[in-house]
Structure 1
Amino acid sequence: MEKEKFKIGLLNGLIVPKVGRSGGLAMLWNGDIKVEVQGYSGNYIDAIVTDPDSGFKWRITGFYGNPVTHCRKDSWNFLRCLNQKYQLPWLCFGDFNEIVSMEEKLGGVQRSQRQMDKFREVIHHCKFKDLGYYGPDFMWSNMQQGENRKYLRLDRALATPDLIDLYKDIKVHHLVESTSDHCVLLISNATVQKYPNSRRFLFEAMWTKREECKDIIQEVWDESQELNSPIGIATRLRCCAENLSRWNKRVFGQIPRQSQKKERSSVLWSVEIRMVAWAARLI
């Protein structure tokens, strides 16, 4: 993460080291804003942000819920404690390791209703509203095949009404990351450029056998296009998809699609996004 700070130009920040082979948190920012970290551990980073133009203060918390089911109540109790600290507009986001209803789960055994209710209760206690999302419905998959595969919406962004009133254009995007079991959570109040009427891009597994595929991806992401903005990321993603599609048509020709009922052998494409403002469970 220390190296990534310099790559993406976010030189200020706090990095909580991982323990063992996984874990670790990071919150990075540029020098244009004032961020004061109020507390942190292996499960959260809490900070107060001051707008440089208006002097307006608001609160941001990156949160990681306990992955052990019977210990998750400790996470909710701690979230209640954080709620009592300050009376500021508040944005709280991350991997909560819990869902609020069975609609946020696909596959696997039935979730305990009491377990989901406890999460809903702490959301209401903190006066949070779910910011919704654009993109895939589920943020996590166990990466198994067939009937053993499970999907859940474990990651989300929550905010208090006063923050939503101030940042009316705030949006949450779920970005597919092909190398992780989680999607990337992108939160922004800037407009992310959309390209309607375009076909959904699929990354073919067979491409990875060709060295040209890696070269195309590397060339796009080494360009000087700005990476610390949603528009910059969207532009890179679109350019990478277009270049790979042209290369595929030239080298492989048109690949026929399988039946919709058959499980996809291709995976939704997502290149490695280097603008990491929040990274949880680093490996």
Structure 2
Amino acid sequence: MARYMSGRSVNLAHTFLDDETALTPATVTVTVTRNGATTATATGPATAAGTVYTFSAGMLPEGVYSVRWDGGATAVDLATVEVIGGPLFTIAELRASDDELTAQRFGTADVKRAREVVESEFQRITGRSFVPRTAFLSVAELPAPGELLPTSDVRSVTVVGGLEAGSVVPVERVGQFAYTPEIPADATGVEVAYGFPSVPDGIHRVGMLYARWLLMAERSAIPDRATSFQPADGGTYTLSTPGRGGAETGLPDVDAVLKGYRPDIVNSVGVA
């Protein structure tokens, strides 16, 4: 899922493909709809440049959006994009961290993709988002009041649908967790704003370290599946390997920092 930054115009691009064959509809209409909304956020004709179609959706608030690329009888594609409150690190910061990360060797699209992978992996490993995000949860997806919301570090919960749409409901927090609040009976769901409002220094540092590794891994002389290697001058080195010995990324410095943001597992036994 492609990510864009809030406070910037969201400029979308799309290519219609039938496996490896590019399709070129004569006209394409784009509709952008925010998750949980019943009306489109932005809609209009796409601009064609060869096989690439572009559309500017303007500045969109933080959240997840579905995008419909309607090429009529030729092709109709659906995509999902997300607008977040800020990046884990900027591309300029990443390039400045290593002389090898030039634009000639690693294009903007490659670097952005690596950053998105890092952001997603860090959230998967820790259960926490280190960038501000907003998710829509329908009534059917919401845990019962008094149970924990599925997102950590909740910043606010806003009612969607019904007479009180747009109102912010109070949330009870316990550490990084928050309980599902009571919402009006006529609401269709809630928007949960969550994640760190600013990136912690340690996460910022190891985020760039992991991104550099992702970009340069294919140039490494060590085979992808190796768990140890023996250099020409002798000796054997054991590699930190994802999935073994508690390693998640396979980079000890990165895993050590991420471990500090993972909650301890607490087992509780209820007595009836």
Shorter-chain TM-score: which interval?
A: under 0.3
Which structure: greater helix fraction?
A: 1
Which structure: greater strand fraction?
A: 2
What TM-score, normalized to structure 1? 0.26
Q: Which has the larger radius of gyration?
A: 2
What TM-score, normalized to structure 2? 0.27
